[in-house]
Amino acid sequence: MLKRVLSVSAAATLVLALSACVPPDQTPDISGVDFITTDGAEPQNPLLPADINDVPAATIVNLIYSGLVYLNEEGEAEYDVAQKITQTSPTEYDVVLREDAKFSDGSSVRARDFVDSWNAAVQNNMLSSYFFKPILGFGEGEPTMRGLKVTGDRTFHIELAEPTANFVKRLGHSVFFPMHPSAEKGYDAYGMNPIGNGPYRLARWDRDEKINLIPNAEYVGPRKSRNEGLEFRFYETEEESYAALQRGELDLVTDVPITHIHRFEEELDGRSFNETSAMFSFITIPANDPMFRGEAGALRRRAISMSFDRTRIAHEVLDDTVTPVTCFATQKYCPEMGMIPGQEVLVYNPEKARELWAKADAISPWTGPFLLGYNADGGHAEWVDAVTKQVSETLGIEAYGRAFTTFKKYRQAVTDRQMRGSFRSSWQAAYPSEVNFLEPVFASNSLLNESGFNNPEFDRLLKEANSELDKKVQDQKLVAAQSILLHDLPALPLWESNVVGGYDTDIARPHFSWKGKPFYFELTRDKG
């Protein structure tokens, strides 16, 4: 079984050991590199494409690896490592790789590398292995999926168990990136010092401090780097990174502390951005919490959801840098209120909330408090305080936030299932589809399902929606699936979060992907 997370001390030891094993002539000299510096956070896990579940790791993985396709600014699939993908039947695809696709060590990217990496992800039960579910043979307990066949050095065949909507777009997700053959010697070790095939390669990883990336000279795809390198610096708080930008010590920040959210555009004087994203934020309530199980628990979930005013908090606390959602996805994929049965639970209604809470107490008395876990270094304290204060005032119970000092410690508590009470969560879609907001987070057999939600009817509807190519019929299935979520409330939807930040005076204005991430490979110094 693949070990999920290395301890800090073990990981640090591993980095030193790896560095010592690298011949001096292969260690990149980065002393004179003009790095574009930006904010970041320590990745939770080794950098394995299919074994990450946090945005900081995903950001790095998407720069040091490349897949068959990438998703452009509009969210459309464009070829990257693939030269051609041909759909030969509703469930079959033939893939041809570029002749010049190489890993950063100069070795060719082969069809076998894709097939072996995908099979390894499933065989080792990696965190994102659920994304391979459409492929024939997934979940059959065999070491390889029978829907994958290498047909040549640069060609392979994919057969799906059933027709799958947006399958080619899905191939742009990091889970489908290829690993170098050396990964088979030890995945955790490889993930600490990976050999990728993307526009950058890992030059240095100082644990809990920074990651340095330099251009991969072997990469010839469409995402070719336009800068000398990227340096992701890790700060304990958003206040620190924002102050570093203001002092001219950082070139780019992608988070603004809430204390500056009302004035950052003025402070940065035209060097700010406020971009829509594919980031859906919510409050997870674990299924095993004794206060939220059974009939009483169902009533309490509804009561809490209706006890705080999302619109007011979005406006007064977060200065409209978030948009309250009306379903379990970002607003682009949410129908208007009233279109999904049960949407009323997302509307502030203190009287109804108190009524539901009283009914729950009559069944099983509350023994609180209501806790909301969050990472203190992510600018969440103010909105968490606003939510818990309203919950407390509306329902007459103790409610407060539980702060973890860093994102890393907070995520560790979540993944180890050591989180007491509810906790803040977010999900950034891997490809533009409503399905991708629902399936990874709430499907019963997804390792990314951190609530423990398990509803067979929901799973059935998702399965049918996935294989439905008629958009109207698919939408009907998804409405029904969302209605189940609104009834059971494994999580309380909050809002779609914008990407807000700024850049230094000598940096050209960044461009953003369909999901609000900067195109880091395009970042340049402003020569004008």
Q: How confident is the model over 197-212, as pLDDT tens digits?
A: 999 999 999 999 999 9
User: Does the residue 344 lie in any domain?
Assistant: yes
In degrees and rounded to multiples of 5, residue 50 shows phi and psi of -100, 5
Give the separation between CA 496 and CA 437, rounded to whole angstroms. Answer: 12
Residues with Cβ within 8 Å of residue 35, at least 6 apart in sequence: 212, 228, 229, 230, 231
Note the pLDDT of residue 55.
Answer: 85
State the pTM of this model: 0.81
90, 187: one domain: yes
Note the pLDDT of residue 2.
Answer: 36
337, 463: one domain: yes
Of 462, 456, 492, nearest to 480 by C-alpha is 462
Of 362, 361, 341, nearest to 488 by C-alpha is 341
On the question of pLDDT at 21 being above 60, the answer is no
On the question of pLDDT at 216 being above 90, the answer is yes
Helices (H) and strands (E) in the chain, counts: 15, 17
Give the separation between CA 179 and CA 257, rounded to whole angstroms. Answer: 36
Give the separation between CA 131 and CA 221, rounded to whole angstroms. Answer: 24
Mean pLDDT of 395-422: 90
Of 463, 523, 412, nearest to 8 by C-alpha is 412
Mean pLDDT of 75-95: 96
On the question of pLDDT at 78 being above 80, the answer is yes
**Minimum mean pLDDT range among 126-130, 302-306, 389-393, 457-461:** 126-130
Give the separation between CA 52 and CA 415, rounded to whole angstroms. Answer: 11
Q: Tell me what the pLDDT averaged over the chain comes to.
A: 91
Of 274, 268, 300, nearest to 285 by C-alpha is 300
287, 390: one domain: yes
Note the pLDDT of residue 26.
Answer: 59
Residues with Cβ within 8 Å of residue 353, at least 6 apart in sequence: 302, 303, 304, 306, 307, 394, 395
Instruction: Write the DSSP symbol of residue 87.
Output: E
- 75 lies in which domain range? 8-32+66-192
Is 253 in contact with 38 (CB distance < 8 Å)? Answer: yes
On the question of pLDDT at 22 being above 80, the answer is no
Tell me how many domains the chain contains: 2
On the question of pLDDT at 132 being above 60, the answer is yes
Give the pLDDT band of residue 456 (cuts 50, 70, 90): very high
For 298-356, the pLDDT digits (tens) are: 999 999 999 999 999 999 999 999 999 999 999 888 887 889 999 999 999 999 999 99
User: Does the residue 204 lie in any domain?
Assistant: no
CATH number of the domain that 84 lies in?
3.90.76.10
186, 302: one domain: no
* Other CB atoms within 10 Å distance of the CB of residue 117: 23
CATH number of the domain that 461 lies in?
3.10.105.10
